[in-house]
Amino acid sequence: MPAVTRPRHFCGVGAPCGYGVGVLGVWAAAASCLGSGSVPPPAAESSARPDPRLVPGAVSRPPNGSLTPVYIDADLAETYSIFVLRTLTLTEKSARWAHYYDGRWVRWCGELKFFTHDGLQFRYFSSSESYDIELEVPEPQKTALRTQLTIGRFYNYAGRLGRFDESFRILTLDQGTVLRPDEFGVPSYLLDSPDPIWRIGAPPRVVAP
């Protein structure tokens, strides 16, 4: 029976890789394979598109998945009672918050109590010693509002629901803005402390911006 000859792969040095060459031949073959120049450098073969977050002028998608803010008709007192007062378990609150509130936008009104590093703090209930709503405002609006608003006045504001905190008893909104900011504010008043809600009604509805 004739001998079977295995096919051999040549690396370009006149000898098959791994056959009939000494140690120096193997190293020479390997060096020839790696240095043949047939494989472009990684940077040359990369065709990935640039990260849009690094491109000037690129528009990033908001967390709620829409380029247009989604507003809901959530009542402040009811929202505060559901999520800040200890009427439901944290699991129940978290599930309802994620499904109906998180990332949605609201328009509320409150008494301006403090300017902070992140934005503004508003009081809504007469029983509150400090504030009930934390409104995070981006620059340059945040700096401008310090010269436009008056502590103790009431203002209408809008923002995106970000989180609730049982321990500090506050609701936090981000991407905040004050509607028609001036030194006088709008006519309004503080409400009495809300009662705990033991039976939750229908969820808030989506409304026009």
Query: What percent of the chain has pLDDT above 70?
Result: 68
Q: Which domains does the chain have, with CATH numbers?
A: 9-37 (no CATH), 71-207 (2.40.50.140)
From first CA to last CA, the distance across the chain in angstroms is 87
Is a pLDDT exceeding 80 seen at residue 124?
yes
Query: What are the angstrom distances between the C-alpha of 193 and each of 19, 80, 196?
Result: 88, 10, 10
Reduced to 3 states, what is the DSSP secondary structure of residue 201? coil
Mean per-residue pLDDT, 182-193: 95
pLDDT for position 67: 61
Cα-based distances in Å from 126 to 85, 89, 132, 158, 192? 16, 26, 10, 21, 6
pLDDT band at 200 (very low <50, low <70, confident <90, very high): confident
Among 130-144, 167-181, 194-208, the minimum mean pLDDT is found in 194-208
CB 118, CB 128: distance < 8 Å: no
With H, G, I as helix, E, B as strand and everything else as coil, classify residue 12: coil
Strand partners, 147: none
Q: How far apart are the C-alpha atoms of 189 and 125, rounded to whole Å?
A: 9
- Distance between CA atoms of 83 and 22, rounded to whole angstroms? 77
Torsion of CA 168, 206, 120, 126, to 10 degrees: -60
As a whole number of angstroms, the distance between CA 36 and CA 30 comes to 10
